[in-house]
Structure 1
């Protein structure tokens, strides 16, 4: 069993014993999402730690979007609950890259693509640069941040 899934399960037991309702509910929800992902598709399989991190990232993004929606609807209590869940999920995700670190990884990706295409990449080759940049970032930054950094680099 992947280490991250073991950690999620053991932390769920700790939260159960500590009667920490927010943490317990969040971990149950995350483990359910992981289980759903495992049985999705043609054949059931066990997810790797990297795949579990992608599920966690997706769940954290859902919580942030829900919190924003509740906030704009004037429902501060529900927004706070969603943010609390997002904070619990964030504990299991890798640290996010700073803007400077992200910019340097994007620079490396642009250089790699420039080598492949034989010149500076253009806006039309943004997909190639995004693919290279996402491989380097490996879940340590949101896709929208990566896309914005790549677009800024290609237009400059």
Structure 2
């Protein structure tokens, strides 16, 4: 089942269970996907966005909420930080399992070999290979420095 269908199914379930907090987050996810679909159609892609792009959207939504939660904590608004963390949980239900450090290191090694990377100039190739295979499974902001260290 596609992520888009999973989200729609979860919306129906949340409506039946009258879970308004979960429902509002699911509707935000659905709206973000539809917004990206509209933009893709404007670029000439009639099919809209694919699974990889949906995973990217979800990953971006998680990252935004993590930053907001940190800002709320720094501002002393623990209640709002908790709300953001709750939304993160709802969004992460649709993301694949995150890789641990050991699995990330193996993935980096595999991508370096696959791309034939030898120097820091090949970092883009390695990151592209990682993004193609592991979208939604790792934080590429944190992986970038590891790739850079490996290629240096």
Task: Please tell me the TM-score bracket, short chain as reference.
Answer: 0.7 to 0.9
Q: Could you tell me which residue of structure 1 aligns to residue 124 of structure 2?
A: 127
Instruction: Give yes or no for contact 1:102–1:137 (8 Å, CA) kept in 2.
Output: no
Q: Could you tell me which residue of structure 2 aligns to residue 75 of structure 1?
A: 77
Could you list the runs of 4 or more consecutive aligned residues of structure 1 that deviate by over 6 angstroms after TM superposition?
Answer: none
Q: Could you tell me which residue of structure 2 aligns to residue 48 of structure 1?
A: 50
Quote the Cα distance in structure 1 between the aligned partners of 2:64 and 2:53: 17
Quote the Cα distance in structure 1 between the aligned partners of 2:69 and 2:124: 31
Q: Provide the alpha-carbon RMSD of the alignment.
A: 1.8
State how many pairs are aligned. Answer: 149
Quote the Cα distance in structure 2 between the aligned partners of 1:50 and 1:150: 21
Q: Could you tell me which residue of structure 1 aligns to residue 31 of structure 2?
A: 32
Shift of the 48–136 alpha-carbon distance from structure 1 to 2, 3 Å rule, reads closer
Shift of the 113–3 alpha-carbon distance from structure 1 to 2, 3 Å rule, reads closer
- Of structures 1 and 2, the larger Rg is shown by 1
Decide which of 108, 111, 133 is 1:106's aligned counterpart: 108
Residue 63 of structure 1, CA deviation: 1.1
Instruction: Give yes or no for contact 2:56–2:135 (8 Å, CA) kept in 1.
Output: no
Decide which of 132, 140, 143 is 1:143's aligned counterpart: 140
Quote the Cα distance in structure 2 between the aligned partners of 1:50 and 1:112: 20
Q: Could you tell me which residue of structure 2 aligns to residue 117 of structure 1?
A: none
What is the TM-score when the length of structure 2 is the normalising length? 0.88
Q: Deviations over 1:114-153 (max 9, x none)?
A: 3xxxxx6222332222222323323310111221220221
Shift of the 136–51 alpha-carbon distance from structure 1 to 2, 3 Å rule, reads closer
Q: Any unmatched runs of 5+ in structure 2?
A: none
Quote the Cα distance in structure 1 between the aligned partners of 2:37 and 2:104: 31
What is the TM-score when the length of structure 1 is the normalising length? 0.86
